[in-house]
Structure 1
C-alpha cells in the first residue's frame, strides 16, 4: 500500500528505519517514538492509522496500539482499540480491557472472585496458550484479597491454580505477607516455603540454563526467604533458620545484604555472637539504625561493659556518612535543568523559574511504582528535615500513570497516606517534541530524583531508591547540602 509521507517521515528510509521482514515494528520505529520530533511522531501515527485498515490479525492491532501509546497519540490508540475489540470480541484486547476496567477495580474479595469467574468463562486460559501469566497475575491479586479478608483457605486455593512456576517466587509473596500481617503464620509459612523453594530452583540452575524467567524468579528469593526464616526465628528455630540462610548464600552470595537481618538474629539465637555482631555493625553502618538495641546487647555481651560504646557508635555513623558521600559522587553532573511549568493538585501552576534561588529536589514517581511508594516515608523524613529551610523545595512529579482517572487516583493516594508533598502532574507535552517532563530529564526508570541548585543546574541525578528511612534522610541531606555549595567547575 503506497502512502504519501510528510517530509518529517521521509527520513525513515534515509536512516534505515523502513519496515523490513522479520523486524519487530515497535523496535523498528524506536528512533522516532524515543527521539523524534512531534512532526515525525504525528506523521508516523498518520501512516500507521492508514496501514491499520489492512490489518487481519489482532497482534497487528496490538503492536500498533502500543506504538500509538509510545508516540503519545492516546486518541488514535483508543480508536484502534475500539476497532480491534469489535473485530475480535473474544480476543486478548477485550480480555485485557475486562481485567483492567472490571476485574482489578472490584473492591471486595467476593466481587473480585465473581469477576474472575466471568473472566475465565469468557476467555478460557486454554485458548490463550503462552499467556498463562496474565491469569496468574489475576489469581495473585484474588488470593491477596482473600488473605486480607481473613479467608486463608480461599487465598491458598487460588494460588494453587497458578500455572507458571517461575512466577510463584513473586506471586505467592504478597498473599503470604498479607497473612503474616494478620498474624496467620500457620497459613503463611507453607506459601513462603513454596515461593522460596521455587525461586531457589531457578537460582541453582546452571548458568547456561538461566533465561529471563529464571532471573525474574530469583528476584523474589530474598524476600520470601527473609519472611520464612523470620517465622522460624520467631518460633525459636534458629538452627533450622541458619541452615536455610547458609544454603541460600552458598548459591546466591549476592543476597547477603537482603538476608542480613534474619541472618544476625539466627546467629544470635545459636550463640554465634561475634558473627552476629559483625553483621550488625555493617547494617548499622549502612543506616539501619533500628538494630541498635541488638547492637548494644551484643556489644555488652562481647566486651563485658558499655564503656566506649558511644565512641564506637559515632565511628559507625562517620563511616556511613563517608559511604554516602562516596556514593553521591557517582551521581554528580552539571547541566541546565529543562524549564517546566506544571499543575499541582490544586490546579495551580508551578514553574522551575519561580523557584530560582532555591535548591529543588525533583522526585519522579507513579502510584503503581512500588519502589517509589516504599521510598516515600524516607522522602517525607528528608522533607521534614528541611521544612523550615526556605532555600529548599521538594517537588514530587507524578508521571507515567496508566489509568485515565489518574488525577483522582493520585489525590486519593496522597490524602490516604497524609503525605505533605507538593505534587505536580507530568502531563504537559512539549509543543515541538511531544515529550513530557520525565523524557526531557532523560528518565528511563522510576523513582528518579534530581537535585537542582539555586542557578537551575542539575547537580545530582539518581534512579531507584532504598526503603530505609534513615538512609534516605541522610543521603538527601548530603545531596542537598552539596548542591547548596558553589559548583567546582
Structure 2
C-alpha cells in the first residue's frame, strides 16, 4: 500500500507540473505509458483525472482525453469528454465528437450529407484556422459515399471543396478508383490526374523543401499514376502513357516498382518489346504470376515460338524461391511465444497451449488497417494451401480497434468478405501490466505476422504487406515449412 501511495504522489506531482507544460505531458510520462505496471498506469490515470477541476482551456481537456485513451481508461475518458463538450459546445472537441459519432456512423450519402451540413453550420471552417485537414477528411469520406452510389457529379463537387493540397490525393484517388471500377472512366480520369499531378508536384520539390507533408503526398504517386495511366493504356494512348512514366522515373526512380505494370504495357503498345520483356521477367520473378499471358506473348514475339519457355519459366520461379529463402533469414527469431487465451467470434476460448504440436501463424490486424486487409486474399490462399494439414493453424488476431462496436464491425467485415478465418479478439488485458496480446508480442505496427513452431517458439516475425497473392503463398510456404524443421542456430558471427 505504501508503494502504491508513493507512486500516486509522484504522478500527481508530475501532472501538476505538466499542466504548466501541456505539450510535453506525453513525453514526461512515456516510460509509464509504454512500460509501466498496471498499478502505475492506474495511478497516472487517477492523477490525470483529478486535474479536471483545474482545467481552463480546451487544449488541457484534449490532452487529458488522449492520455486516458492511451491508458485504456474508457470511463474516465468519456467523463472528461462530456465535461469538455458541455463547457465548449462550439469547440473542436465537440465538433470532433459529432464527426466521429454522427457523420462517420451515418449510413448512405444522404445521411452523411445532412450530417456534413450540420458540421459546417455549427462549426464553420473559418473559425478553425489551421484545422482544414479535419474538414478534408469529412469531405473525402462524403465524396466516397456518393461515388459508391454512382453519383460522380456530387462526389466531384465535394472533392472540389478540399483545401489541403498535400492530402487532397487521399480523397481524389479512392473516389477515382471507385468510379473507375464501376466503368465510369470519364469521371474517374480527371480525378486520378489531379491526384497524380499533386503527388508529382511534391515529389519533384528540391530535397531541402521536402517536409513531412511533401513526403506524405509523394507516397501516393505510384498508385495514382498507375490508375491514370491504366486508363490511357486501355484507350490505346501508349505514347502519352510512356511519356508520363519516363518523366516519373526521372524525378522518382524509387517509384519504378509501383509503375512496372503500366510501364511494360506502354512499352508493348509502342513496340518496345525487349524492354517490356525485361520488366515482365522481373515481375514474374517477384511472384506476379498474373502477368504470365503477356510474358508468353512477348517471349513468342521475340523468339519466334514458345520453344524453351517452360525451362525459362522454371528458372524464374527457382530464382523467386531462392530470393524468398534469403529474405526470410532476415525475419528469423527464436524465443518462446507469450502464452495467450483469447475468444474467437463464437465466444470460444482458444489458447496457444491447446495448439502445441502445431505450427501456428499469427496475423495481427484491424478493420481500419488497409495494409492488413490488402494482404488478406494472399493469406486466404496460403491458408487454403494448408487446409488438409492438421499440423498448421492460422489465427487472425484482431487488435487495436478504435470503435466501441468493434466486435460487431469485425463479424460484419469477415462475413461480408467471406473470409474463412479463425479470428480472435485481442481485448484481454494482462492484470499486471494492462497490456493486450499485441504488446506482449512486441507489436509496434500492423500488419504483423508471427510463425510459431510446434514447441511454442517464435521462429519468424514479419511486418508490412503486399497485395501479391502468389508471392504471399510462396513466402508463407517457405516460412511454415522452415518452422516445421528443427531450429538450427546460425553460425554467422
Shift of 1:160: 0.5
Match of 2:330 in 1: 330
CA distance in 1 between partners of 2:468 and 2:45 (Å): 44
SS in 1 for 2:461: strand
- Conservation of the 8 A alpha-carbon contact between 1:17 and 1:29: no
Contact persistence 2:15–2:47 (CA under 8 A): no
Q: Is residue 169–residue 221 contact of structure 1 (8 Å, CA) maintained in 2?
A: no
Name the counterpart of 1:201. Answer: 201
- The whole-number CA distance in structure 2 between the counterparts of 1:8 and 1:433 is 15
Deviations 1:299-334 (A, max 9, x none): 001111111100000000001111111111110011
Is 2:353 the counterpart of 1:375? no
CA contact (8 A) 1:169 1:218 kept: no
Q: Distance in 1 between matches of 2:16 and 2:60?
A: 18
Aligned positions of 1:139-150 closer than 5 A: 139-150=139-150
TM-score (norm 2): 0.96
Deviation for aligned residue 1:188: 0.7
C-alpha distance after superposition, 1:53-76 (max 9, x if no partner): 101111111111111111121111
TM superposition score normalised by structure 1: 0.97
- Distance across 2 between alignment mates of 1:13 and 1:93: 25
| SS of equivalent residue, structure 1 residue 106 | coil
Q: Is the 8 A contact 2:12 2:44 kept in 1?
A: no
What is the 5 A alignment of 1:52-63? Answer: 52-63=52-63
- Contact preservation (8 Å) 1:176, 1:192: yes
Which residue number corresponds to residue 187 of structure 1? 187
Distance across 2 between alignment mates of 1:297 and 1:375: 29
**Would the alpha carbon gap of residues 402 and 16 (structure 1) be closer, same or farther in structure 2, given more than 3 Å must change?**
closer
Name the counterpart of 2:385: 385
8 Å contact from structure 2 (residues 133, 164) kept in 1: yes
User: Which residue number in structure 2 is paired with residue 277 of structure 1?
Assistant: 277
Instruction: Give the 5 Å matches for 1:198-347.
Output: 198-347=198-347
Q: Report if aligned partners of 2:8, 2:47 keep a CA contact under 8 Å in 1.
A: no
Distance 2:192 2:21 in 1: 46
Q: Does 1:7 align with 2:6?
A: yes
Find the aligned partners of 2:474 and 2:39 in 1 and give their Cα distance.
Answer: 45
Q: Following the alignment from structure 2 to structure 1, what is the Cα–Cα distance between the partners of residues 39 and 319? A: 53
Distance in 1 (alpha carbons) for counterparts of 2:59 and 2:14: 26
Which aligned pairs between 1:159-170 and structure 2 lie closer than 5 A? 159-170=159-170
Q: In the alignment, is the contact (CA less than 8 A) between 1:173 and 1:224 conserved in 2?
A: yes
Asked whether 1:123 is paired with 2:93, we answer no
SS of the residue 1:317 aligns to: helix
Shift of 1:250: 0.5
Inter-CA distance 331–18: structure 2 relative to 1 (3 Å threshold): farther
**Kindly tell me: are residues 358 and 426 of structure 1, through their superposed partners in 2, closer, same or farther at Cα, counting changes over 3 Å?**
same
Equivalences, count: 486
Whole-Å separation in 2 of the counterparts to 1:6 and 1:365: 38
- Aligned counterparts of 2:15 and 2:102: Cα–Cα separation in 1: 42
Shift of residue 376, structure 1, vs aligned partner: 0.6
Cα RMSD after superposing both structures: 1.8
Q: Distance in 1 between matches of 2:235 and 2:300?
A: 25
Deviation at 1:164, TM superposition (A): 0.3
Cα distance, 1:184–1:356 mapped onto 2, change above 3 Å: same
SS in 2 for 1:363: strand
Q: Is the 8 A contact 1:12 1:18 kept in 2?
A: no
Q: CA deviation at 1:21?
A: 3.8
Cα deviation digits, residues 248-277 of structure 1 (max 9, x gap) = 110111100000000000000000000000
Q: Per the alignment, in what secondary structure is the counterpart of residue 222 of structure 1?
A: helix
What pairs up with 1:389-400 in 2 under 5 angstroms? Answer: 389-400=389-400
Q: Does residue 85 in structure 1 map to residue 88 in structure 2? A: no
In 1, are the aligned partners of 2:264 and 2:276 still within 8 Å (CA)? Answer: yes
Corresponding residue SS for 2:265: helix
Tell me the CA shift for residue 417 of structure 1: 0.9
Query: Is the aligned partner of 1:357 residue 2:357?
Result: yes
2: CA distance, partners of 1:366 / 1:119: 28
Preserved contact between residue 365 and residue 398 of structure 2 (Cα < 8 Å)? yes
Paired with 2:81 and 2:9, the residues of 1 have a C-alpha distance of: 27
Counterparts in 2 of 1:298 and 1:13: CA distance versus 1, 3 Å: same
* 1:419 paired to 2:429: no
Give the 3 Å change call, closer, same or farther, for CA 451–15 of structure 1 in structure 2.
Answer: farther
C-alpha contact 2:452 2:460 (8 A) present in aligned 1: yes
